[in-house]
A = this chain, B = another copy of it.
Amino acid sequence: MNDLAEYTWTVARQARDASRQLMSVTGGQKNAWLKASAQLIRKRAAELVQANSKDLEQAPNYGLTDAAIDRLRLTDARLEGIAAALEEVIALPDPIGEVIGSNSRPNGLQVMQVRVPLGVVFFIYESRPNVTADAAALCVKSGNAVILRGGKEALHSNLALYQLLKEGLRETGLPEHAVQLVETTDREAVGQFLKMSEFIDVTIPRGGKSLIERVAAEATMPVIKHFDGICHVYVDKDADLEMAARILINSKCQRPGVCNTAESFLVHRDVADAFLTLVGPQLEKAGVEVRGDAAIREYLPFAQLATEEDYRTEYLALKISAKVVSDLTEAIAHINEYGSHHTDAIVTTNWNAARRFTTEVDSSAVIVNASTRFNDGGEFGLGAEIGISTDKFHARGPCGLKELTSYKYVVFGDGQIRE
């Protein structure tokens, strides 16, 4: 075993041991750690800003854009935000120990399904240092040990934050390896962790598609994946067209670079004329490039002709594909075929249309008469989220504390044996 292999094995084994200890830690202890960590971040802000300046100095060498450098920067205000976010996790209910199902059996056995931690989470993420604190908070609050692997661009900032989180663990008597940060930037380390299914229960990669694909291909444990959001707004023949325009513009323009932004819209042919006449100038004014089929271009001369590929593209920009459909059935079939099963909205006043759309569209969120932008842990009331799953297995959509848990059966008897 070389040095790197020994290091990663030790980290993973320590995480596993810490996760065993975390099984009997109380909610009060976990909250005390969150509070202590928030206070340390406030008290030692200068230290963190100092460490962050090293990352900022090296940022141009990593080819970071100005926008990326800005996201990397820690200021007193941002550190206050990180501390406040830890305190918000205190307010979330402890998921562990919840009885999520139970059965009293005829022989007197009492069978309970009890929520327990998953165990060890391996979390891989890109450069923003606030994610270090957020992810540690969510994992530990849900009773999991976490191995954090941040981007090399934020290494000094992450290490400094990690020191404080560790001090918090010591101060409050939590297992010292409940949170560990991978201290090497060697990419090989990731590959080694991905092989350790005996110690790591789930890997969560947060970053670009190529990272997620690499992790999914190499991992020997389950992975919570976050792939494309090719989200639709469908304007039904019975839509309130003013509302439809407002929802479409918000879904596309409020934050075009994120996964729950609309990348395509469909409009029923009976209202295509009226709707496109209304929304066309709004799209143009907002600077949205439209790629439509021939029917769309009849009403929107500024639109370009869409290719088959456009309907399968996540633009993450002020671009949108569009199509006129002949009925609800065609709309649903199009969304299930071309979409990415992330978030799809219908605008309608028709009961049957809404009911069919929410039943038959196979997406993590199906929305009636609201913006696609609402598919988000905070907006759904889950509290903070560690990611949005595009899987159907284990967790779908925003992943908060509950999605970081498993369950066990706890059975109480009085000497029952099986006949």
- The residues in A between 225 and 263 inclusive whose CB is less than 8 angstroms from any CB of B are 240, 243, 246-247, 250, 254
Interface residue? A62 (CB, 8 A)? no
Interface residue? A374 (CB, 8 A)? yes
Residues of A within 8 A of B (CB): 20, 23-24, 103, 105, 109, 111, 116, 118-119, 201-202, 222, 240, 243, 246-247, 250, 254, 336, 356, 358-360, 362-371, 373-375, 379-382, 391-394, 396-397, 406-418
CB-CB under 8 A for A408 and B363, given A111-B381, A417-B254? yes
Q: Are A23 and B362 in contact (CB under 8 A)?
A: yes
Residues from chain B with a CB closer than 8 A to the CB of A202 are: 393
A-B contact pairs, 19 of them (CB 8 A): A23-B362, A24-B356, A105-B380, A105-B381, A116-B362, A202-B393, A222-B391, A246-B415, A247-B417, A366-B410, A370-B411, A371-B417, A373-B417, A374-B418, A380-B409, A380-B411, A392-B406, A393-B394, A393-B406
Instruction: From B118, B364, B391, give the contact of A408 (CB < 8 A).
Output: B364
CB-CB under 8 A for A418 and B365, given A379-B105, A394-B394? no
Complex CA distance for A250 and B418, rounded to whole angstroms: 7
Q: Are A370 and B409 in contact (CB under 8 A)?
A: no
Q: Are B201 and A409 in contact (CB under 8 A)?
A: no
A20, A396, A397, A415: most-surrounded residue (chain B CB, <10 A):
A415
A201, A240, A365: most-surrounded residue (chain B CB, <10 A):
A365
Complex CA distance for A105 and B23, rounded to whole angstroms: 32
Shortest beta-carbon contacts, A-B, top 7? A370-B413, A250-B417, A103-B381, A394-B394, A392-B406, A373-B418, A365-B409
Complex CA distance for A380 and B370, rounded to whole angstroms: 42
Complex CA distance for A413 and B373, rounded to whole angstroms: 13
Q: Are B362 and A393 in contact (CB under 8 A)?
A: no
Q: Are B409 and A375 in contact (CB under 8 A)?
A: yes
CB-CB under 8 A for A119 and B411, given A247-B417, A418-B254? no
A20, A371, A393: most-surrounded residue (chain B CB, <10 A):
A393
Nearest CB in chain B to that of A370: its residue:
B413
Q: How far is the CB of A242 from chain B (nearest CB, A)?
A: 9
Complex CA distance for A382 and B366, rounded to whole angstroms: 29
Q: Are A415 and B381 in contact (CB under 8 A)?
A: no
Residues from chain B with a CB closer than 8 A to the CB of A116 are: 362
